[in-house]
Amino acid sequence: MNQPASRRSRPRRWRLLLPLLAGVLLAACGGDNTRPTPPQPVAPVVPDPVLPPPKIGLALGGGAAKGFAHIGVIKMLEANGLAPDVVAGTSAGSVVGALYAGGMDPFQLQEKAVALDEAKIRDVRLFSGGLIQGVALQDYVNAQVGKRPIERLRKPFAAVATRLETGERTVFVRGNTGQAVRASSSVPGVFEPVTIGQYQYVDGGVVSPVPVDAARQLGADFVIAVDISSKATGKRPDGMLGIVNQSISIMGQRLGEQELARADVVIRPNVLDYGSADFTRRNQAILEGEKAALAALPQIRAALDKFKAQRLQAARAEAAKRAAAQAPQLPPCKPRPRFGLGRDQGDCIPAAN
């Protein structure tokens, strides 16, 4: 039996309406499941900090006539773009360091070294047992730096000496340049102690054979140390000055090793067999300094790159920390009320203040 057309189309309409009705029912029971989740905090983009180049310090050790090797080291450092920013010196290193800090370039230092008449800086006093007074050395240094005090030299400079009364290390960073160098170079038993104020001072090599810590005190970030000190090699040193210098080196060897460990790079020119009073080999000593510095260049550059990378990493972390502290904070969040099943557990709305 045929049914009316209107009845035959009725089930088809219901079938079309069923999905719509299901959606309405689900919406009524479960609520709106398409609400966007709250915004998540985004880490701020922090540009790399701009850092100044590291300040290079040069620590020049003692070694009497072997100190000419320091000139060769300075020549090669400057020629390869590694000019020191600050200089610290002990004994012979204080002489070269003062002249360099005073404004002499390495070639001028070499000219002065070649022309130097050591007799002019040895003022022996017969009434003090044949000891060298040291005033001639003081006057020579002051003349070369234009009689400027330490604080007015072109580069920050420190001369290290030993306070005779207490054995304390003393770092001269101001005052009479020649007098500080004289105090730093006053080898016990060879030079008279130097009186400055109420104290007497002798060679800085007794307590600081290579003044790495003094270079740090001047503000150096990266320290290159030059070690020319005598070592106990089983050979008998020549002359009184050689004996005294080796004795001082033996006394300060343990302290020197500890201080050298705090340098970033140590350069050791091959001058151990040079006599402490042998001024005739000054040109060879300068050449040995050049060779040792050239050989150390890869190590210096690698250590500098490592230092720069570590410093940049630390600066990035600090900059990110500051940026995070200054970033605007999102308002606190509370869960949306659940009206049915199927709601996202993390859905929330801003809490009222």
Q: How far apart are the first and last CA of the chain?
A: 72
Long-range interactions of 16-19: CB distance < 8 A, separation 24+: none
Give me the half-sphere count of Cα atoms (radius 13 Å) on the Cβ side of residue 291.
Answer: 9
d(CA 43, CA 41): 7
Question: Residue 216 CB: number of other CB atoms within 10 A?
Answer: 18
Residue 6 bears catalytic tag: no
Q: Which of 91, 184, 230, 276 is catalytic?
A: 91
Question: Residue 27 CB: number of other CB atoms within 10 A?
Answer: 14
Strand-pair partners of 195? 200
Phi, psi of 90 (to 5 degrees): -120, 130
Output helix, strand, coil percentages for the chain, rounded to the nearest 5: 50, 15, 40
With H, G, I as helix, E, B as strand and everything else as coil, classify residue 132: strand
- Stated as kind and residue range, the H or E segment containing 158 is strand 157-163
Length of the chain: 353
d(CA 256, CA 233): 16
With H, G, I as helix, E, B as strand and everything else as coil, classify residue 219: coil
Q: Which of 85, 184, 186, 203 is catalytic?
A: 203
- Tell whether the torsion through CA atoms of 306, 309, 313 and 315 is positive or negative: positive
The structure tokens listed for 162 are 């030993």
CB within 8 A of 237, min separation 6: which ones?
230, 243, 245, 246, 275, 276
Residue 186 bears catalytic tag: no
Looking up tokens 């503000």 gives 219
Using the 8-state DSSP alphabet, how is residue 68 labeled? G
Using the 8-state DSSP alphabet, how is residue 120 labeled? G
Active-site positions? 91, 203
